Structure 1
Amino acid sequence: MTQSVSVDDVRAAAEALRPVLVRTPLLHSRHLSELVGGPVYLKCENVQRTGSYKIRGAFTRISRLTEEERARGVVAASAGNHAQGVALAASLLGCKATIFMPQGAPLPKVEATRAYGADIVFGGETVDACLSSARAHADERGAVFIHPFDHPDIVAGQGTLGLELLEECPDAKTVVAAVGGGGLASGLGVALKGSGWDGTLLGVQAKRAAAFPASLAAGRPVSVAISPTMADGIAVGRPGDLTYELVSHFVDSVVTVSEESLSRAMLLSLERAKQVVEPAGAASIAAILEHTYAMRPPIVAVLSGGNIDPVLLAKVVRHGLVTAGRYLVVRVRLTDRPGALVRLLSELAEVGVNVLDVTHERVAARLHLEDAEVVLHLETRGPEHTQEVLSRLRRQAYTVKFS
């Protein structure tokens, strides 16, 4: 393979980034360590400037432009992390940035990108539409288009994370990171393997957006249909040409994870590690949960981003609780008479369940005149406790249906 990015390129990027980056913590995870039978560490790029590792590649790319190129401005397309990375990097380097974002992009991400000094243009319904609009705008204005992953400078910048890992955890046997277009995985591969590290580099994609396994099987980048996934930050339909080459050379394996594993991983990050992580950022933990057999400790899992809309966070946390068997929504039929609801809630209190919400319905076509129905949102202590709750209700002759 003819390498278009070398470890020396990564080291040069690290020098340029030294005054720009936050040195993010490497935290030990006791829970995951017990699960895999050896040390597991979390590299918390969710607390990096702009909330993700993307500032590394964006700053490297823009800093290597000529003065004349920077004077013409830069253009990018993104729904979130790349947008914020480019916006901040351009601001630090005295360069105008125009970011094309999709209609309906989460307001916190739009406002954060604007706060870093970028001009926002809503360029279509999807990121792909925004990419087309951004390229056309760059060509028309003579600005420089900043690709989110498929450029040597982007790869070199993202690779600086690998150099940090070598310093912080030199005995790591496995490094796990999310893969979208492949910029981060490529950079980690160049930095780690190019420095002589002989461990396993594992990439992770959402099952609903897994272009790399299909591409690696085909021996070339191929496009795949993307289904809706909570991990929108890594939902890329086709690897880049450069990143495909580097991933195929340096990354030992690319696995996929389910939506359920992603939500469980986010919940674990919040409860056990006290880290707010977006679904794509939690993909590395999801891989540990779902592919424990593929891991050799010590393991470093990269938490690649923490930019999540609070509304989505609430939904995903609930999804994670459901997946973990700790959140239950049921419909309970009872006789519509005074005290019936109190008796039902008393039964639940007896088994120590937390009632989060109650909706009491008396009039509906499916109900008999003497019946009522209650929709209950319940928090339990886990699958065994959930079964205890359901058994208690059924023993008391309640009709229980799941919502």
Structure 2
Amino acid sequence: MPGRPLTASSSDPSSDPAAELTFEAVLAAAEIVRTELAPSPLQAHPLLDRALGRPVLVKHENVLPTGAFKVRGGVHLAARLTDAERAHGLVTCSTGNHAQSVAYGARLAGVRATVVMPASAPAAKRDAVRALGAEVVLVGASLGEAAEHARARAAQTGASFVCPTDPRIVLGHATAYLELFGQAADAGAELSALFVPVGSGTGAAGACLVRDVLAPDCRVVGVQSAAAPAGWRSWRSGAIETAPATTRAAGLATTTGYPRTQAVLRERLDEFVLVDDDAIDDAARLLATCAHTLAEGAGAASLAGALARRMDGLVAVVCTGANASADEIARLAGSVAAA
């Protein structure tokens, strides 16, 4: 409900890249997130098992409000806003799902929000952000250009810039994996691997934080589009790197590695694979036909990774979002018709 007050925090986020990212902090975030969001299901789909030739569980984050896991970050952020943030509002940048997350959280907390999006952001996601009450500003051809403008706009207006890897956002996202590993344990399912899509890396970092405590034998594998490999390059080199983002999957279209999440991933991520955009489209088709699930490109990427990196045992993938663009739906319809 718009304007409903949430618990506030007067402390500012730490400047130390990973200082606040602990399992205990994930547990605290979960207490907040569960007051607003019901757990998303972790499900088996026999037709999907048959298509992969081995068992797989799907974490359906696509059923959450805004249609994506990132709403968890917005809900947690709303409860942890500083007094200055409440007074002067928020500015962020995004290609879509983070934008909706911050807009959703701002509406919960009753604060102003401005979202800077690149011109390439899908129209449906721009409209969704506006519907949640945030102002949308279109700037630049890439997320990097939008981010530069968003930071400048925050400095000029006195609003607070919310980085997509703000610790409050990362901890909110991590609650998806607290649920996932808890659900698997409750079902007596022992996971050999978990595949997680990587854009800014918040989900993969959160998965590692939880896995290390609840399922240390499970491998966490990051998956990124080969057409937007900045995170993969940063993970491999140990330094923050940039790369062009030409992927069709808007949720993966990051042009740089992010220090906060890379600090976690370098130490804890087991593997990192690149998949091409056609493979992501193929995975989206499988989710539609075998798991009754519409997935955007980023939401299908973890399944594409599981198809590319065959592993023994039970694996889990995460459908992180269902906000497919018109072009994605058209490609999906075409591939289904041709199958």
Q: Is the 8 A contact 1:7 1:195 kept in 2?
A: no
TM score, norm. by length of structure 1: 0.75
Compute the displacement of 1:261 (Å).
1.2
Q: What is the aligned counterpart of 1:283 among 273, 294, 301?
A: 301
The separation in 2 between residues aligned to 1:70 and 1:246, in whole angstroms, is 29
TM score, norm. by length of structure 2: 0.88
> 2:280 maps to which residue?
262
Q: Is the 8 A contact 1:263 1:317 kept in 2?
A: no
Give the letter aligned to residue 223 of structure 1. Answer: T
Cα deviation, 1:27-59, whole Å, max 9, x if unaligned, reads: 202234235554311101111111111111222
Cα deviation, 1:301-359, whole Å, max 9, x if unaligned, reads: 000111112343112442x35xxxx63xxxxxxxxxxxxxxxxxxxxxxxxxxxxxxxx
Give the letter aligned to residue 255 of structure 2. Answer: G
The separation in 1 between residues aligned to 2:170 and 2:271, in whole angstroms, is 19
Q: What is the aligned counterpart of 2:195 among 173, 176, 201?
A: 176
> 1:96 maps to which residue?
112
Within-5 A mapping of 1:120-159: 120-149=136-165, 151-159=166-174
1:82 aligns with 2:82: no
Compute the displacement of 1:16 (Å).
0.8
> 1:312 maps to which residue?
328
The separation in 2 between residues aligned to 1:77 and 1:220, in whole angstroms, is 23
Count of residue correspondences:
319
Q: Is the 8 A contact 1:221 1:238 kept in 2?
A: yes
The separation in 1 between residues aligned to 2:68 and 2:126, in whole angstroms, is 15
> 1:71 maps to which residue?
87
1:220 aligns with 2:239: yes
For residues 216 and 77 of structure 1, do their structure 2 counterparts lie closer, same or farther at Cα, with a shift above 3 Å needed? closer
For residues 2 and 28 of structure 1, do their structure 2 counterparts lie closer, same or farther at Cα, with a shift above 3 Å needed? closer
> 2:177 maps to which residue?
162
SS of 1:223's equivalent in the other structure is coil
Give the letter aligned to residue 290 of structure 2. Answer: R
Compute the displacement of 1:2 (Å).
7.2
SS of 1:169's equivalent in the other structure is helix
The separation in 2 between residues aligned to 1:124 and 1:258, in whole angstroms, is 25
Q: What is the aligned counterpart of 1:197 among 208, 216, 224?
A: 216
The separation in 2 between residues aligned to 1:181 and 1:100, in whole angstroms, is 16
> 1:108 maps to which residue?
124
Task: Flag as ranges the 4+ runs of structure 1 deviating above 6 A.
Answer: none
Larger relative contact order (C-alpha < 8 A, sep ≥ 6)? 2
For residues 280 and 144 of structure 1, do their structure 2 counterparts lie closer, same or farther at Cα, with a shift above 3 Å needed? same
Within-5 A mapping of 1:363-378: none
The separation in 1 between residues aligned to 2:207 and 2:325, in whole angstroms, is 27
For residues 215 and 232 of structure 1, do their structure 2 counterparts lie closer, same or farther at Cα, with a shift above 3 Å needed? same
Give the letter aligned to residue 241 of structure 1. Answer: P
> 1:245 maps to which residue?
263
Cα deviation, 1:121-151, whole Å, max 9, x if unaligned, reads: 22233322221111111111111111112x2
SS of 1:281's equivalent in the other structure is helix
Within-5 A mapping of 1:375-390: none
SS of 2:227's equivalent in the other structure is helix
Give the letter aligned to residue 164 of structure 1. Answer: E
Cα deviation, 1:57-92, whole Å, max 9, x if unaligned, reads: 222233212233212101111121011111011001
The separation in 2 between residues aligned to 1:86 and 1:78, in whole angstroms, is 10
User: What 5-or-longer segments of structure 2 have no aligned partner?
Assistant: 1-16
SS of 1:187's equivalent in the other structure is helix
Q: What is the aligned counterpart of 1:51 among 61, 67, 77?
A: 67
The separation in 2 between residues aligned to 1:82 and 1:195, in whole angstroms, is 27
For residues 217 and 124 of structure 1, do their structure 2 counterparts lie closer, same or farther at Cα, with a shift above 3 Å needed? closer
- Deviating more after overlay: 28-37 vs 57-66: 28-37
Compute the displacement of 1:208 (Å).
1.2
SS of 2:255's equivalent in the other structure is coil
For residues 46 and 144 of structure 1, do their structure 2 counterparts lie closer, same or farther at Cα, with a shift above 3 Å needed? same
The separation in 2 between residues aligned to 1:198 and 1:306, in whole angstroms, is 30
Compute the displacement of 1:169 (Å).
0.5
Q: Is the 8 A contact 1:25 1:43 kept in 2?
A: yes
Compute the displacement of 1:104 (Å).
4.9
SS of 1:120's equivalent in the other structure is strand
Q: What is the aligned counterpart of 2:292 among 257, 274, 287?
A: 274
Q: Is the 8 A contact 1:178 1:283 kept in 2?
A: yes
Compute the displacement of 1:196 (Å).
5.0
RMSD: 1.9
Q: What is the aligned counterpart of 2:34 among 18, 30, 47?
A: 18
Give the letter aligned to residue 293 of structure 2. Answer: Q
Q: Is the 8 A contact 2:144 2:255 kept in 1?
A: no
Q: Is the 8 A contact 1:212 1:254 kept in 2?
A: no
For residues 254 and 15 of structure 1, do their structure 2 counterparts lie closer, same or farther at Cα, with a shift above 3 Å needed? same
Q: Is the 8 A contact 2:71 2:101 kept in 1?
A: yes
For residues 218 and 105 of structure 1, do their structure 2 counterparts lie closer, same or farther at Cα, with a shift above 3 Å needed? closer
Q: Is the 8 A contact 2:143 2:253 kept in 1?
A: no
